[in-house]
Structure 1
Amino acid sequence: MCSDAYSTAEIEYKWCTSKEPNCSTAVKADANIELSSYKFTKICQKRTLASTSSGTYSRLRVSFIFDRDSGFYFLQIFFPASLVVVLSWISFWINRDSAPSRTLIGTMTVLTETHLMTGTNRRLPPVAYVKAVDVFLGFCYLLVILALIEYACVAYSKKKNEDRRRREKKTEHKPAPPTPDILHDVRLAECTCNAAPTSIIAVIKQSNRFCVSHSHIDIVSRAAFPLVFILFNTLFWLILLYKSKRLPYISEHEGDRCDAPDLH
């Protein structure tokens, strides 16, 4: 509310507060106000002075602050997306030889996350900036993609190990049968206890220091994926609550939400 025809020398506006005895027009919030997607939070009243080339003018401004009701988004977006991410971790406990089962789980979780992302963007208004829900769904989508790539790494590692063992078997040759030695019983002083194994079975049973089993990838993933998801959720919700000034003892005072640039 303002008037550009009369400066402060002629008219000066001010808000009438409920503490004044003759004030009957104070702005008050109705406790019965209910909205489907928002929750009425606060009324901000402010008096400003606009200085122009023709003089200084008094202006009044009132702002209504609404908080988005997060219950719908928890039930329809955040909670289902988290469950899909947890579902993708089941493949880490499935036998590595069950390629159809692990591939099906990875593909279905990726498609489900894609459906959640597209459905959420259709319901929300299009904006030019990145929303908090976009960050959450994008990270969940990245985790299910990585879970599918993890099985590809497991299958590739298993194939490499099998190819290496196959090459080792081909390079090994069976030793020729020893020629009969008549003086074998006579040479008692000859030491043969430290002789290297010559049979194929003995060579295969020897441990290979450079062999890395593909199961190590699944073992690491069983702990790494949940830890990364828990760490992300902790940081995400702390930052989100801090930015929305809903974090107790850390966020700014509630009255600061009424601070906004003056209208000139």
Structure 2
Amino acid sequence: MLTKVLLILLGLSIILPSRSEGPHVESENRPSAYDDVYGPQPQAAEEKLLSEETKPTLSGPHSTLGKLPTATHILNSILNNCDHKLRPGIGEKPTVVTVELSVNTLGPISILDMEYTIDITFCQTWYDERLRYNGSFESFVLNGNMVSQLWIPDTFFRNSKRTQEHVITMPNQMVRIHKDGKVLYTIRMTIDAGCLLHMLKFPMDSHSCPLSFSSFSYPESEMIYKWEDFKLEINEKNSWKLFQFDFTGVTNITETISTPTGDFMVMTLFFNVSRRFGFIAFQNYVPSSVTTMLSWVSFWIKKDSAPARTSLGITSVLTMTTLGTFSRKNFPRVSYITALDFYIAICFVFCFCALMEFAVLNFLTYNWTKPRASPKLRHPDIRARALMPPRASAHQHPDAFVCQIEDSDESDGEEGPSCPAQQSLSPGGIQNPGGCCKWCKKYVCVVPRCEGSIWQQGRLFIHIYRLDNYSRVVFPVTFFFFNVLYWLVCLNL
């Protein structure tokens, strides 16, 4: 009986484990049974996530931090071995610094202060054998806070007046250290540099504004600058502020200057600009030319209208004086005359001559031709006639003449004798009409009518009463030829 019970218990112990393991093995051998279910299994995902989290702990602490300890160790080692107070290669060879420059913004150019503003990114490259390292890192990039721990060239800009380094949001400086010891130092700055402007051809002038830099303490025997194939990047898409100028190009020179502290290598960039002519033309040339031509209107006004002609002439002269002062308002106080000053001065002379023309005309016609007849003959109600003496006495007085002096309303207010051309009938007896000088007596006619006179035959004379007619032609023609000559000379120089 006991034997039967033991056999039954043994059989149950064999059957029960086989039934409990059957479903588990099936689930492992049939993973496709869960392919029809959308989404991952929660238990399987939890087990996988747990396995991934436990992997780094099994691999050690160095795998958790990545390569950071290695980079920190390399950087600390090269900085500790480098003395930033001494230049690389000291006592052996000069340090060669390769320069590259990128222009962000150029301008504005101040004519009054003779300076210009430029925003640049200045790059310097050199080799420092003390910064070499071995490792999988090709280079280290350090921000501006680490610059003080490295040796940096003491480059300064020789013609700078004010220099600003940008520090927003961090100092705009960067240092890149390569594994072969190559160091790249980049800094962004805004410089107000001096530019000597030669204004002789203003406003048709062109200028070359320099940007000169060198080492402050290292002479040429210790530090050498050179261009990297003169690589200069100019970003003209930025907001350049050359309001009155056009950028025409850039050139460079390298020279050595001698100072009491040694011979220094100086690198200079020249930014070439040319002035835009439109603004100056509308502000100075057009008003001065129009004012000069307006002064000629007085030639078409009657000479009896003294107030109108005088006011027009004085207004033209004062306007030209104002234009000359305005053109020098925002201009450096140079000691020479510019092209614009010469043009305005000539326009001022034309306006002044137009005013003086009326003064000369008024003086000659109303003073030099004053009649010498007695008051009885000038009475408006009296008509006097000088009769010729008897024929017999005419031969005794060959210089006698017949002249009728009349005062009528048909003379248009022009005073003087009605027959001035017959003042002398003798070929050599030229009288002085109205007290003229000897030159005026030969070449100038100062009476209303000069036809038929004997003294003017074969001579070129000036009819004073036609002075306005002469001026209407002489002034415009002279001003036209002056403009042609002026622009040919200024544009071809």
Q: Same fold (TM over 0.5)?
A: yes
Matches within 5 A, 1:218-237: 218-237=468-487
Amino acid at match of 1:30: E
SS in 2 for 1:119: helix
CA 198–234 in structure 1, closer or farther in 2 if over 3 Å, else same: closer
Q: Is the 8 A contact 1:106 1:144 kept in 2?
A: yes
Bigger shift: residues 83-92 or 34-43: 34-43
Structure 1: how far apart are the matches of 2:351 and 2:477?
Answer: 14
Corresponding residue for 2:307?
Answer: 100
The alignment's C-alpha RMSD in Å is 3.7
CA 118–48 in structure 1, closer or farther in 2 if over 3 Å, else same: same
Corresponding residue for 2:232?
Answer: 26
Structure 1: how far apart are the matches of 2:388 and 2:217?
Answer: 117
Structure 2: how far apart are the matches of 1:218 and 1:200?
Answer: 29
Corresponding residue for 1:167?
Answer: 372
Report the alpha carbon displacement of residue 51 of structure 1 after superposing the two structures with TM: 4.2
Corresponding residue for 1:130?
Answer: 337
1:109 to 316, 322, 326: 316
SS in 2 for 1:49: strand
Amino acid at match of 1:93: W
Corresponding residue for 1:217?
Answer: 467
Matches within 5 A, 1:1-264: 1-3=213-215, 5-17=217-229, 25-28=231-234, 30=236, 33-51=240-258, 56-163=263-370, 166-168=371-373, 198=402, 200=404, 204-205=418-419, 207-208=421-422, 211-212=445-446, 213-241=463-491, 247=492, 251=493
Report the alpha carbon displacement of residue 233 of structure 1 after superposing the two structures with TM: 2.4
Bigger shift: residues 59-68 or 197-206: 197-206
Q: Is the 8 A contact 1:15 1:47 kept in 2?
A: no
CA 82–34 in structure 1, closer or farther in 2 if over 3 Å, else same: same
Amino acid at match of 2:224: E
Asked which structure has the greater CA Rg, the reply is 2
CA deviations over 1:22-42 (Å, ceiling 9, x no partner): xxx524362553422222222
Q: Give ranges in structure 2 of 5+ residues lacking alignment.
A: 1-212, 378-383, 407-416, 423-429, 431-440, 447-462
Report the alpha carbon displacement of residue 111 of structure 1 after superposing the two structures with TM: 1.9
CA deviations over 1:211-243 (Å, ceiling 9, x no partner): 3342332233223322332333233333333xx
Q: Is the 8 A contact 1:17 1:26 kept in 2?
A: no
Structure 2: how far apart are the matches of 1:30 and 1:207?
Answer: 78
Structure 2: how far apart are the matches of 1:199 and 1:147?
Answer: 37
Q: Is the 8 A contact 2:386 2:404 kept in 1?
A: no
Report the alpha carbon displacement of residue 84 of structure 1 after superposing the two structures with TM: 0.2
TM-score under structure 1 normalisation?
0.68
Structure 1: how far apart are the matches of 2:280 and 2:271?
Answer: 23
Larger strand share, 1 or 2: 2
Amino acid at match of 1:167: R
CA 137–216 in structure 1, closer or farther in 2 if over 3 Å, else same: same
Amino acid at match of 1:111: L
Q: Give ranges in structure 1 of 5+ residues lacking alignment.
A: 19-24, 180-189, 242-246, 252-264
Q: Is the 8 A contact 1:29 1:43 kept in 2?
A: no
Structure 1: how far apart are the matches of 2:372 and 2:465?
Answer: 21
Which structure carries more relative contact order (alpha carbon 8 Å, separation 6+)? Answer: 1
CA 53–161 in structure 1, closer or farther in 2 if over 3 Å, else same: closer
CA deviations over 1:116-155 (Å, ceiling 9, x no partner): 1222222334334333322222221121111111100010
Corresponding residue for 1:182?
Answer: none
Report the alpha carbon displacement of residue 98 of structure 1 after superposing the two structures with TM: 1.7
Bigger shift: residues 112-121 or 148-157: 112-121
Amino acid at match of 2:482: F
Structure 1: how far apart are the matches of 2:333 and 2:259?
Answer: 37
Report the alpha carbon displacement of residue 7 of structure 1 after superposing the two structures with TM: 4.2
Report the alpha carbon displacement of residue 160 of structure 1 after superposing the two structures with TM: 3.0
Structure 1: how far apart are the matches of 2:374 and 2:342?
Answer: 51
